[in-house]
Structure 1
Amino acid sequence: MSESSQTLLRHILEAPYPNSSMNSYFSPMQLEHRSHHVDEKNFDKLKAAYGACLDEDAIKKAGVDPLTEILDQIMHLLPKQKSANDDEDIANTVLYLASLGVSVLVSPGTGADDRDPDTVVVSVSAPWRIGLPAKERYMDEDIVKRYETTVAQVISTLCPDEKYDSATFHGVVEFEKKLASASPDAEDREDVTKYYNPMSLRDAETLTPQIHLSRLIDGLAPSNVKTIRLIVGAPQYMEDLAGILSNTPKDVLQVYFMWKAVQSFASAIEADAVKPYKRFSNELQGKEPDSTPERWRTCVGHVDNGLGWILSRFFVERAFSAEAKEFGDEIVSDIKVEFIEKLKATEWMEEKVIKLAIDKVHNIVQKIGYPTKSPNIMDPSSLREYYQSIDITPSAFFNNTLSMSRFDTKLQWSALGKPVDKDAWRMTVPTVNAYYNPPGNEIVFPAGIMQFPVFDVNVPKYVSYGAFGSVSGHELSHAFDSTGRHYDQNGNYTDWWTNRTVAGFNERADCFVSQYSNYTVEGADGKPLHVNGRLTLGENIADAGGLSASFLAWKKRAAKHPNQDLPGLEYFSQEQLFFVSYANWWCGKSRKETAINRIFTDPHAPKWARILGTMANSRDFRRSFNCPVKEPVCTLW
């Protein structure tokens, strides 16, 4: 599906502005004259960004110069000689890189306050990625050694006049290793009871005084907004960071900051200087060292990341319909009804909690297909205004990338001082994915995931309910998983469950933890590497609940409107094909190295485990395939 989406986006970007032959009701031809002109200008901006990315000759000619400008600025802000202004230098460098969208030492941001979901609040956490793909990777001596060699090769080539010695590069990797050790485990990052730590800015600043949090936030926030309170994602990390910084030489810090810039912008450079890093990154993913994706794929991703809502507008025209939106709404609404029935029948929840849970389901906002606000992707003027500050130059790919990154940073911080924008989407329309947002109590399904073969208005409904319906139920089930259950019907993080209900949930959740912890992939040393049952708990609960609710929703629909059989597949019953459609959705393969990285960082279990584990937890599957044992291994909803 991602492949089909990418290919369609390529066709859009390499074709002229759509002409009158388009008969979709989203067609540009339906626009009034003035809007049509703006729409065409928006399309030209897409084409310019795509063309600049494709122009490899111009990118190679620019070489490393655009990147070295950033490195020079870092060296200016943070001289390697120790002085009385060391903390000032560190703080200024952190702010400079943050303005470019590069998180170093800490990851600052904004979002809905979990305990007050209508209010935007500042948050500061440990960076999601220190340098290697996961903190556990710093325990692999071979990888760490190759990583250190890579840092040395790249920085020495980019900054030949600085004469850094091997001790400096070793110090950078050791510094990262300390940061990784201090950063929270992946499962704790997913746990609201651990990452939600409100503090006054004054108290938070004392944790790591070298960062100058107040200056960092003031430098990123709108000038008319004063921050006095924030959420600290990992207070212990912040405290440990202060000690780590105090014991790290300044030349090591300088190279560390430069290395973060290299890692962030290497993909926008075509030069021998950054090739060692690209080779190393490929090897970590199990790819051939010198392999590169086809350029058009890189450039489709670049445009989707930077001008995604304009691109979404043209994707919708080609890949979505009013009938598809109506069918998607029908499936999600059906699943809400069935989930409520499941809640009513839940014996381990107390009655007053069930009533509140039913209210929460009723309150879930469902967003299907594409946004019509913030921005309205069907309004060319809205899109033009939204992206007005992004400067696109047809022959300056690096500068375009930088402009897009600065825009994303400013957009996020501009939310401060305003109510939470509940119309905004976190994924562009071509994205083959979906999500549940706990503070917003909303489930969102971009048109990209509503495509053949998991969703189609013209195939028997058990195909769409088995795949897309299960995804819909999965996202809805997140409202009651190990994270979502902490948020009430209004999206407030609060204790709204009774002790008896919590105990019943934990007992059943522990079953999922044990079940999935028994699944393994092959580790780097050839020994079994176990799935983290705690990290993947929320997703595994959502898989089981989503499949069950979707099956019941489809059966109820099919009782009123029987489905056709699929020609050539008469061997299977329609019930069985429901589950085949689900399994087909998750069927896939991963390279060994990629699978290892995901075990450490991905809250989803491996795809094959999402099939086997979810089937093992489905009474309906066991009945449909006449399994000897009908009782599920684990069940919650």
Structure 2
Amino acid sequence: MGETSTSQAPVDEVDERAPLLGSSESEPNEPEAPAKRAGKWVARNAVLISVSLLVLAVIIILCIFFASYRPKKPTTKTALCLTPACVHASSEILYNLSPDYKNLDPCDDFEELVCGGWDERHDLRPDQGDAFTGTIMSENSQMLLRHILEAPYPEDSDHSSFSPAQLLQSVSSVDQQNFDKLKAAYDACMDEATINKAGVNPLLEVVHQIAELFPVTESVVHKRTPLLGKGKDDILDLLIFLYKLGLSPLVSLGAGADDKDPDVVVIQVSPPWRIGLPAKNYYEDPKILKEYKDTVAQVLENLYPDDKHESAALHADWMRSSGHGKIAARGKAIDSSNEIVEFEKQLAAASPNPEDAQDVTKYYNPMSLKDADSLTPQIQLANVLQKLAPLDYTINRLIIASPQYMNNLTQILFSTSRETLQTYFIWKVVQAFSSEIEADEIKPYTRFSNKLQGKDPDSSPERWRTCVGHVDDGLGWILSRFFVEKAFSEKAKNFGDQIVSDIKEMFIEKLKKTKWMDKSVVELAIEKVHKIVQKIGYPTKSPDIMDPPSLQHYYESVNITPSTFFQNTLSMSRLVVSLQWSSLGKPVDRNEWGMTVPTVNAYYNPPGNEIVFPAGIMQFPVFDVNVPQYLSYGAFGSVSGHELSHAFDSTGRHYDQNGNYTDWWTNSTVEGFKERAQCFVDQYAKYTVPGPDNKPLHVNGKLTLGENIADAGGVSAAFAAWQKRRAETPNQDLPGLEYFTQDQLFFVSYANWWCGKSRKETAINRIYTDPHAPKWARILGTMANSRDFKDSFKCKNREPVCELW
């Protein structure tokens, strides 16, 4: 500022400097008028102004040009997925939708909107009582398993990269031996000629062993021998014999984790899961009871014809030559059937209602062996248990699910004759193994069972379906190994882990916002979520299905021959029982799975605090790594959230973060839960199906409470998990489904999983016994309880009917 430059400044700096610095002359000039100064400035800079205006014009023109040709932002229109997987998924949804879906209000009847087409496209086979999307998935898996079982052992070139034969070349011969065992069991089941030729004889072998172990005195008709008479101790050997075959007459015995000490295996005693008829309600229906009695009479008459029957003499000779004990002398078969059914009726009346049988606060009753044995002295419970348990195991305590039932059983047995009991035990064997026998003698019971479910009385599944199920029941882990190779992948397992982990994260966020739970309870609940073990796809321990030697050792005791189907079945049953009882005295094996890999299902185990998802349920359309994620999050994600929500439902809430049955909720939190849970009870009790007399039969809101709570929590957590994922990675749209937003398709995918239909009789049976609400109610009730659903479809009333999380 103090110096005077004698050099001429650049043209573009002259006026910039002038206002700030004075002239080089010694005396200042007089100031000029503004207009005059501006005119001089323009004159001096005319060229500069012209150039600047030209540049500005060019810039404006270029901006307009590029703006008009600039591609639209990706957010204005989502990309369309046209891969085969997406086209398949889209077509499946479109086929299932009601043809009139655009004119239906989703807020009024979402089930009809999503499933109207499914109902039209799927008819129940004569041998089916009901079916839903999960049934179709299961049958697709069955078809795959059939192809595996009817094909030769895959050669090296046929193995996928996801195979133990690739991972462990040194044990491929063991893998083939396992496969051969699998195939022999399937082939024996498929050999209908041999099975038909054997007829009822394999079953009679078991029946005659009952007569040998628990004989009765040949007596004049109507004379009855009391149980506590001479030879009363023989019931001990009979019960042990039946229990080792997997039967549960009078009481159900087993071993499992102690709810209050989940690392310890304890003996559990409960009423039989099924007395005779599928539900105790049926014993109050005179029409069904008469049909049942007539059925029992027909089967008994077929098995043991009286003296007028042409085969009676041959049967008596066979009995004597075989050295078997005596079977009760009978008058008319209908008399014996009346006695059996009346005995069962008393047992059913003594049994707890289904909702109480699943209530841990009612079924957890620890007792000493001495106290438990005193409840039913006639069946010598202590002696039975000591014969079943390992020799080195000392029985200190056991869990009695229903002491009241045990007390009632004492009174019932006191007034029941040996003849009636023997016939009852024989009838239990007939019921248990009727599906393993092809004989006219058993057909009356098969027809009755079918009719009770609304099926065609003379229908039966295709033989290959029966045999796939037979192999899955008896050699399931070997079958799982070959299923995984064909139907699963590492990519699928990782995606499943991702979904379940996302669900856990979102459930924690929901717990943090829950107002009715005390802060201390929320903190423990969050810890419980963190500790939930997630098992995805298949087990790698106990047994490791990817390790052929492990599988071979697991099934070492199962004897399979290609010509003895019934004996194969008994051998399989004995293994299941022996594995259970051999667990006594050992820590709980937390690596075990309760479902084989092809199973289309999932579960939460409270004492183990674990959620388990077999690969069977991780299949299209519930789960697919190759389609937009809102489909998998809507279906499989909701299933995952459902199982996780069980950790805090009416049962799971009683177990803490370590799986211990304990009171870890504060009183105010319990009251808050009960108030909201009652809402679910009342809501679902309003749903009905046509009853036996065509009057409305209401859903049991108490029996289905835990599942209904889990449905609501599952969808809520899954939707939140998907929203977070879509924010990170936008999903593509599906072709032909432009009518729906991606949010809406999330719920369409959820409901699509539950599309199904049921025969009236099967629906009634499920109301009596099933802790799940009808499939259609699981759609309507869950959507009514979903704020996210109502927001997505812009329903007038956005408030959930019932809400916990």
- Assess same fold via TM > 0.5: yes
Q: Is the 8 A contact 1:519 1:530 kept in 2?
A: yes
TM-score (norm 1): 0.99
Q: Secondary structure at the match of 2:757?
A: coil
- Cα shift readout 1:126-159 (whole Å, capped 9, x = no counterpart): 0010000100011111111111111111112112
2:166 maps to amino acid: Q
Report SS of the residue matched to 1:231: strand
* In the alignment, structure 1 residue 93 sits paired with structure 2 residue 261: no
In structure 1, the residue matched to 2:197 is: 61
Return the offset for 1:73: 1.2
After superposition, the Cα gap between the structure-2 partners of 1:290 and 1:610, relative to the gap in structure 1 and judged at 3 Å, is same
Aligned pair partner of 1:226 in 394, 398, 421: 394
Take 2:450 and 2:286, find their aligned partners in 1: how far apart are those partners?
A: 18
Correspondence for 2:263: 118
Do residues 16 (structure 1) and 128 (structure 2) align?
Answer: no
Q: CA deviation at 1:87?
A: 3.7
Partner residue of 1:533? 701
Q: 2:284 — aligned with what?
A: 139
Q: Distance in 2 between matches of 1:566 and 1:58?
A: 52
Deviation at 1:80, TM superposition (A): 2.8
Alignment map for 1:328-339 (pairs within 5 Å): 328-339=496-507
SS at match of 2:158: coil
1:178 aligns with 2:346: yes
Give the match for residue 431 of structure 1. Answer: 599
Structure 2: which amino acid aligns with 1:55?
A: D
Following superposition, the deviation at residue 532 of structure 1 comes to 0.2
Post-superposition Cα deviations, 1:84-119, rounded to whole Å, max 9, x if no partner, equal 235423333222111111100000001000000000
- Structure-1 residue corresponding to 2:161: 25
- After superposition, the C-alpha distances for 1:154-182 in whole angstroms (9 at most, x for unaligned) are 11211235444332220110000000000
Could you tell me whether the CA contact under 8 Å between 1:324 and 1:457 is conserved in 2? yes
d(CA) in 1 for partners of 2:719, 2:167: 41
Matched, 1:480 2:656: no
Q: Is the 8 A contact 1:26 1:378 kept in 2?
A: no
User: 2:662 aligned with 1:494, yes or no?
Assistant: yes
> Would you say 1:377 and 2:545 are equivalent positions?
yes
Aligned-partner Cα distance in 2 for 1:368–1:630: 35
Amino acid at match of 2:542: S
Q: Given the alignment of the two structures, is residue 577 of structure 1 paired with residue 577 of structure 2, yes or no?
A: no
- Give CA-to-partner distance per residue, 1:59-82, whole Å, 9 cap, x none: 011111111111111112222332
Which of structures 1 and 2 has the bigger CA Rg?
2
In 1, Cα distance between the equivalents of 2:156 and 2:269? 50
Match of 2:61 in 1: none
Deviation per CA, 1:437-491, whole angstroms, max 9, x where unpaired? 0000000000000001110010000000000000000000000000000000000
Is contact 1:18–1:28 with CA below 8 Å preserved after alignment?
Answer: no
Q: Structure 1: how far apart are the matches of 2:165 and 2:506?
A: 41
Does the Cα contact within 8 Å between 2:454 and 2:761 map onto a contact in 1? Answer: yes
* Displacement of 1:218: 1.4
Matched residue, 1:560: 728
1:255 and 1:530 map into 2 onto residues whose CA distance is 36
From 120, 127, 148, give the equivalent of 2:272. 127
Which range is displaced more, 136-145 or 438-447? 136-145
CA 1:87–1:516: 2 relative to 1, 3 Å: farther
The whole-number CA distance in structure 2 between the counterparts of 1:603 and 1:278 is 26
Alpha-carbon separation, structure 2, partners of 1:557 and 1:134:
45
**After superposition, what is the alpha-carbon deviation per residue over 1:379-420, rounded to whole angstroms, capped at 9, x for unaligned?**
000000000000001010000000001111101111101000
CA distance in 2, matches of 1:32, 1:602: 43
Letter in 2 for 1:112: A
Whether the 8 Å contact between 2:164 and 2:546 is mirrored in structure 1 is no
Contact kept in structure 2, 1:156 and 1:163, CA below 8 Å: no
Unaligned ranges ≥5, structure 1: none
Equivalent residues of 2:330, 2:336 under 8 A apart = no
Which of 341, 362, 372 in structure 2 is aligned with 1:194?
362
Q: In structure 2, what is the Cα distance between the partners aligned to 1:458 and 1:284?
A: 42
Q: Aligned letter for 1:205?
A: D
Residue 773 of structure 2 corresponds to which residue in structure 1? Answer: 605
> Which residue in the other structure is 1:471 paired with?
639
**TM-score, structure 2 length as denominator?**
0.78
User: Are 1:359 and 2:359 an aligned pair?
Assistant: no
* 1:196-211 equivalences in 2 (<5 Å): 196-211=364-379
CA distance in 1, matches of 2:157, 2:170: 20
SS in 1 for 2:247: coil
Alignment of 1:583-622 (within 5 A): 583-622=751-790
Q: Write the distance in 1 (CA, Å) between the matches of 2:623 and 2:771.
A: 25
Match of 1:152 in 2: 297
Between the aligned partners of 1:209 and 1:29, the Cα distance in structure 2 is 54
In 2, Cα distance between equivalents of 1:87 and 1:403:
29
Q: Secondary structure at the match of 2:267?
A: strand
Task: Work out the percentage of aligned pairs sharing the same amino acid.
Answer: 70
Letter in 2 for 1:237: Y
What's the CA shift string for 1:583-610, capped at 9, x where partnerless?
0001101111111111011000000000
Unaligned runs of at least 5 residues, structure 2: 1-136, 218-224, 306-311, 313-328
Q: Map residues 412-427 of structure 1 onto 2, 5 A cutoff.
A: 412-427=580-595
- Relative to structure 1, is the Cα distance of residues 485 and 28 closer, same or farther in structure 2, using a 3 angstrom cutoff? closer
1:574 and 1:420 map into 2 onto residues whose CA distance is 44
Q: Counterparts of 1:226-265 in structure 2 under 5 Å?
A: 226-265=394-433
In 1, Cα distance between the equivalents of 2:613 and 2:292? Answer: 39
DSSP-derived class of the 1:443 partner: strand
CA distance in 1, matches of 2:795, 2:167: 57
Determine the C-alpha separation between the residues in 2 that align with 1:421 and 1:183. Answer: 31
CA distance, structure 2, for counterparts of residue 22 and residue 556 of structure 1: 40
My pick for the range that moved more, 487-496 or 148-157, is 148-157
For residues 595 and 331 of structure 2, the distance between their equivalents in structure 1, rounded to whole angstroms, comes to: 42
Change (3 A) 1:23 1:60: closer
Deviations 1:254-288, CA, capped at 9 Å, x for gaps: 11000000000111111111010110111011011
Q: RMSD of the TM alignment (CA)? A: 1.0
CA distance in 2 between counterparts of 1:391 and 1:158 reads 28
**SS in structure 1 at match of 2:802:** coil
Residues in 1 aligned to 2:215 and 2:331: alpha-carbon distance in whole angstroms = 13
Aligned to 2:714, what secondary structure does the other structure show? helix
CA contact (8 A) 2:163 2:546 kept: no
Instruction: Report the AA paired with residue 132 of structure 1.
Output: L
After the TM superposition, which segments of 4 or more aligned residues of structure 1 sit over 6 Å from their partners? none
Secondary structure of the equivalent of 1:452?
Answer: coil
Question: Are 1:87 and 1:211, in contact at CA under 8 Å, matched by a contact in 2?
Answer: no
1:629 aligns to 2:774 (yes or no): no
Tell me which residue corresponds to 1:4: 140
Q: SS of the counterpart of 1:108? A: strand
Q: 1:23 to 1:77 in 2, by over 3 A?
A: closer
Q: Which residue pairs with 2:50 in the alignment?
A: none
Give the aligned partner of residue 73 of structure 1. Answer: 209
Alignment check: 8 A CA contact 2:271 2:401 kept: yes
> SS in structure 2 opposite 1:49?
helix
What is the number of residues matched between the two proteins? 637
Q: Is the 8 A contact 1:441 1:479 kept in 2?
A: yes
- Measure the CA separation in 2 of the matches of 1:604 and 1:3: 21
Q: CA deviation at 1:222?
A: 1.3
Q: Are the aligned partners of 2:165 and 2:171 in contact in 1 as well (CA < 8 Å)?
A: no
Whether the 8 Å CA contact 1:359–1:489 is kept in 2: the answer is yes
